[in-house]
Amino acid sequence: MWRAEAGGVVRSPLLALEQLDSVPDWDRFLAVHERGVRMVPRLRQRVVEAPLGLGTPRWSVDPEFDLRFHVRRARLPDGGGWPALLEAAAQLAMSPFDRARPPWEAVLYEGLPDGRAAYVLKMHHSATDGLGAVQLLSLLHSPRREPDPAQSRQEVVPAGQTSGLGVLAHQVRHDVAALPSAVLGAGSVAFGALSNPVHTLRSASRYGSSLMRVLTPPDVAASPLLAGRGRRWRFAAVDVPLPELRAAARTAGGTVNDAYLAALLGGYRRYHAALGVPVETIPMAMPISVRRPGDPGGGNRITGARFGAPVGVADPKARIARIRALTLAVRGEPALGSIGLMSTGLARLPGQVSTQIVAAMTKANDLQASFLPGPRDSRYLAGARLERVYPYAPLPGCPAMITLVTHRDVACVGVNFDPVAFTEPELFTDCLLEGFAEVLALHCPSARPIART
């Protein structure tokens, strides 16, 4: 992700946009981030490359780390409201990081109606995946509005520092140390093949077939309506009642994620129908977390799945059932983790090469969608209560990247889309709302999604 962004074509930021019930005290707000920097080593680390880009980059403490370069405040135009906030957040997302500093920024936006404020945290995707970002936000939040003296006494977590030559030396040591294990592993595989050749051949055949399915793009034509690609991002935010969405999923034997994907595809179906270009299926991708209990916070522990998504299924109940079958099938692939293993090899390649490989895998998708569990109880940031949190993932060359995070009894949906692909942006947002409404109607016809405007 880090090297693919070097060419300026691919951007890889993750954003969390939080609505707060009031403007936080600025001194407390700064203190929260000072504590976060002490507790999370990644926040004070930058990326260091080896000479000539050899080997994989490494994280290293920034010897000139200064919180003032990472935390700031801004005021929205009078009367701008949510449209101005979403535009400011999209501009922040599209702005490149200073690659000589730790790749994250936090902005407190004042000027929302009724005295509310917004907090936007932007991090490079190479630092963490979506669940890692949720974990980080939980460290910045507090369970109560009042200051907690215990939080200010958190100890500094140590983090290492290295140079470009140090990165190269580490790569050499790592490869040399891994060689005996590779030899032993190869010997073990050879011994197993000789001792039980039939089983070995069957296992290899199953894995090989799975690998072909995982690495081969779905045999689905891309939508001709979404063929355009630009370099601008546009944000939308949607609130969906979570209990009703969960109940709607149960009516079709699916999960919340299945109902969520069915709603998105329903929106796609309506958008295509409204513009007179109906489609039956589209190529779609979704990240799958391989994070386990006990894994350290941060980092990227995800793999990906691609499949033909059933846009043309008009019945939302049947659509949920179809999506359920598709997602179970892709999650059960033995070779699903191979995409994650490929990233190790991609990290060794020059930025231009890795950019071409990554772009080829992602720009063919018409939709990427992700689902994240969020906080279930009341949380506060420097004395301000968290009312909503909208996630925005990078747009890797596809028309839309849509992410849902649960917050108490609301499913908060962050929509990042390309206005060159979706030439009727307002219509697209309206169609997504209708897609959620038809899924919610499976349980509660009166339940309605709300777009933040």
Tens digits of per-residue pLDDT, 347-369? Answer: 666 555 555 566 566 778 999 99
Average pLDDT over residues 23-28: 96
pLDDT tier at 186, thresholds 50, 70, 90: very low
Say which range, 13-27, 120-134, 260-274, has the weakest mean pLDDT.
120-134
With cut-offs at 50, 70 and 90, classify the pLDDT of residue 423.
Answer: very high
pTM confidence score: 0.85
The span from the CA of 189 to the CA of 340, in Å, is 22
Pairing of strands 234-241, 410-417: antiparallel
Assign 397 a pLDDT band (cuts: 50, 70, 90): confident
Lowest mean pLDDT among 20-24, 49-53, 195-199, 330-334: 195-199
Q: 428 near 410, Cβ under 8 Å?
A: no
Give me the chain's average pLDDT, please: 85
Amino acid at 369: A
Residues 6 or more apart whose CB falls under 8 angstroms from that of 263 comprise 240, 245, 316, 432, 435, 436, 438, 439
Does 337 score more than 80 pLDDT?
Answer: no
Looking at the predicted structure, is the pLDDT value of residue 335 above 60? yes
- Listed as own residue / partner, the contacts of 26-29 with beta carbons closer than 8 Å and 24 or more positions apart are 26/73, 26/108, 28/147, 28/382, 28/383, 29/71, 29/108, 29/381, 29/382
What's the rounded Cα separation, in Å, for the pair 216 and 228? 23
pLDDT for res 12 = 86
Lowest-confidence region among 8-12, 309-313, 339-343, 393-397 = 339-343
User: Is the pLDDT assigned to residue 219 strictly greater than 80?
Assistant: yes
The type of residue at 318 is A
CATH 1.10.3470 fits 217-368+415-451, yes or no: no
Q: Taking residues 158-180, report their average pLDDT.
A: 59
**Residue at 254: amino acid letter:** G
pLDDT for the residue 287 = 82
Q: Are 384 and 24 in contact (CB under 8 A)?
A: yes
pLDDT over 80 (residue 342): no
Averaged pLDDT for residues 70-78: 97
- The residues spanned by each domain of the chain are 168-214, 217-368+415-451
Tally the C-alpha atoms within 13 A of residue 149's C-alpha that lie toward its C-beta: 0
Catalytic residue positions, numbered: 125
Model confidence band, residue 192 (pLDDT cutoffs 50, 70, 90):
low
* 8-22, 115-129, 167-181: range with lowest mean pLDDT: 167-181
Confidence category of residue 46, pLDDT binned at 50, 70, 90: very high
